[in-house]
Amino acid sequence: PDEAGVRSYDVVIVGAGLTGMYQLKLVRELGRSVRVIEAGSGVGGTWYWNAYPGARLDSESHSYQYSFDEELLEEWRWKEMFAGQPELESYYNHVADKLDLRRDIDFDTRIESMVFDEETNSWTLHSTTGEVYRARFVIMATGILSDPNFPRIPGLDRFEGEWYHTSLWPKDKQIGFEGKRIAVIGTGATGVQVIPEVAKTAGHLTVFQRTANWAVPLRNRPLSDDDMATIRAGYPDMFPYLRQTFSGFLHSWDPVKSTEVAPEVRDARYEEAFNSPGFTKWIGLYNDLAYDAEANKVYCEFLAEKIRERINDPEIAEKLIPNDHYFGTKRVPCETNYYETYNKDNVDLILLKENPITEFTEKGILTEQGEVEVDTIIFATGFDAFTGALNKIDIRGLGGQTMRDKWKDGPHTYMGMQVAGFPNLFIEGGPHGKGGHGNGPRCSEPVVEWVTKVVDDFFAKGWSRIDADPEAEAVWTKQVADTAAGTLQATAKSIFFGDNIPGKPRVYVAYIGSLPEFVQNLENARDDDYRGFLVH
Ligand code: NA7
Q: What is the pLDDT of residues 459-468, one digit of tens each?
A: 999 999 999 9
- Work out the mean pLDDT of the chain and round it to a whole number: 97
SS3 category, 209: strand
Per-residue confidence (pLDDT) for residue 436, from 0 to 100: 78
Cα–ligand 1 centroid distance for 84 (angstroms) = 20
User: Residue 435's pLDDT is what?
Assistant: 85
List pLDDT tens digits, range 453-503: 999 999 999 999 999 999 999 999 999 999 999 899 999 999 999 999 999
- pLDDT, tens digit, 9 for 90 and up, residues 294-351: 999 999 999 999 999 999 999 999 999 999 999 999 999 999 999 999 999 999 999 9
**First-last CA distance in the chain:** 28
Does residue 367 register a pLDDT over 90? Answer: yes
pLDDT band per the 50, 70, 90 thresholds, residue 3:
confident
Which atom of ligand 1 lies nearest, measured to the CA of 495?
3
Mean pLDDT over residues 11-20, rounded?
98
Nearest CA owner, ligand 1 atom 32: 331
**Which pLDDT value is given to residue 81?**
98
pLDDT tens-digit series, residues 67-79: 999 999 999 999 9
**Average pLDDT, integer, range 198-219:** 98
Residue 59 CB less than 6 A away from ligand 1? no
Q: Report the Cα 39 to chain-centroid distance in Å.
A: 17
Q: Ligand 1 centre from 148 Cα, in Å? A: 10
Confidence bin at 370 (pLDDT 50/70/90): very high
3-state secondary structure 398-459: HHHCEHHHHCCCCCCCECCCECCCCCCEEECCCCCCCCCCCCHHHHHHHHHHHHHHHHHHHH
Percent of the chain with pLDDT over 70: 100
Q: Is 495 in the pocket of ligand 1 (CB under 6 A)?
A: yes
**Which of 42, 37, 48 lies closest to 128, judged by CA?**
37
Find residue 216's DSSP bridge partners: 334
Question: Percent of the chain beyond pLDDT 90?
Answer: 98
ipTM value greater than 0.95? yes
Atom 17 (ligand 1): residue with closest C-alpha?
151
| Antiparallel, parallel or unpaired: β 376-379 and 162-165 | parallel
The mean pLDDT value for 163-172 works out to 96
The torsion angle over the Cα atoms of residues 422, 426, 430 and 435, rounded to 10 degrees, is 160
Instruction: Tell me which residue of 49, 93, 46 sits closest to 72, measured CA to CA.
Output: 93
- Please indicate whether residue 382, judged by its CB atom, sits closer than 6 Å to ligand 1: yes
